[in-house]
Chain A
Amino acid sequence: MKPSPEEEAALTLKSLDAVEPAGVPEGLEEKLFARFELEIAELKKTATPKWFWMAASALLFFNTICALNYLRYDAADETESASSAGSETLFHGGTSWY
């Protein structure tokens, strides 16, 4: 006797229990590793070279030192001008700085 549509449907749904995991196709590994190598090569090409970052860091360090020095001497100059302000009359009474 032919099974009813309901029985056929149940049998078909049950057939999924018998599905085993499929094996990976041959050649996939080679293709993928070739793509991986291309990917690495591309990354190397587009990556900023190390020397650039080293030079940028050195420049930044040098700039910071210069800025700190400038601030230090500027502050020292202002202190000096303030202390010499009291002798302004005497100073300007003279002919010149020289």
Chain B
Amino acid sequence: MHQVSFGGMDEISLVEELSAGNRDAFKRLFSLYRRQVYNTCLGMLQHAEDAEDVTQEVFIEVFRSAGKFRGDSKISTWLYRIAYNRCLDHIRSKKRDKRSGEVVSIDGDATLQLAGNPSFVHPGVALEQKERATILFGAIAALPENQRVAFTLSKVDGLSYREIGEVMNMNQPGVESLIHRAKQNLKKLLENYYRNADT
């Protein structure tokens, strides 16, 4: 069991208060984890409004399923897992709707096409890096789903391989292998992109 104090409350007590419908517990949880949840959703969805909606859904689901939390993992890992599942559901439902499933070129002249939201600029990117970051996020969106998630959780959210394994229900070597393949694929995608942009 993880004993982390939240203003005098341990994790289990906080979740117990939450499952009883305590508004203060909900507010405390939100103020502690809003940034983490929002940034995870933003990194995975690459769409500010969608990330905002899914962040709300994550916290509502946390409230609904608080009674099931047994304290086997940290609250943060539990939240990441819910956010991860919600984001995947969102991505899949969007693909089903064929609203964002289509591959979009971020450069009309380039023959290589990168996926994702071509107008997405991560709000945490410095101005001089905006162009590169847009290309990079396009390349990340073109990765296979589990590589994209593992890479985003590692490089954007800064989770350890062990934590990513807990969130994605995988062992550590599996996570390492996913991230390694994600890096190789990104390198290839970007090199092809710049090669084609030159010609």
Contacts and interface: CB of A to CB of B under 8 A. Distances in A.
A5 interface: yes
Nearest to B23: A36
B95 interface: no
A20 B190 contact: no
Interface residues of B, number: 41
Interface of B: 21, 23, 26-27, 30, 34-35, 38-39, 42, 48, 52, 55-56, 59-60, 63-64, 122-126, 129, 132-133, 135-136, 139, 155-156, 183, 186-187, 190-195, 198
A39 B190 contact: no
A29 B129 contact: no
A28 B195 CA distance: 42
Contacts of B30: 29, 32
Interface string A12-46: 11011011111111001101110110011001000
A6 interface: yes
Nearest to A22: B123
Nearest to A27: B52
A8 interface: yes
A6 B186 CA distance: 11
B60 A28 contact: no
Interface of A: 5-6, 8-13, 15-16, 18-25, 28-29, 31-33, 35-36, 39-40, 43
19 contacts: A5-B191, A5-B195, A5-B198, A9-B190, A10-B187, A11-B132, A12-B136, A15-B133, A16-B136, A18-B126, A19-B133, A22-B122, A23-B35, A24-B34, A28-B56, A32-B59, A33-B27, A36-B26, A39-B60
A8 to B, nearest CB: 4
A9 to B, nearest CB: 4
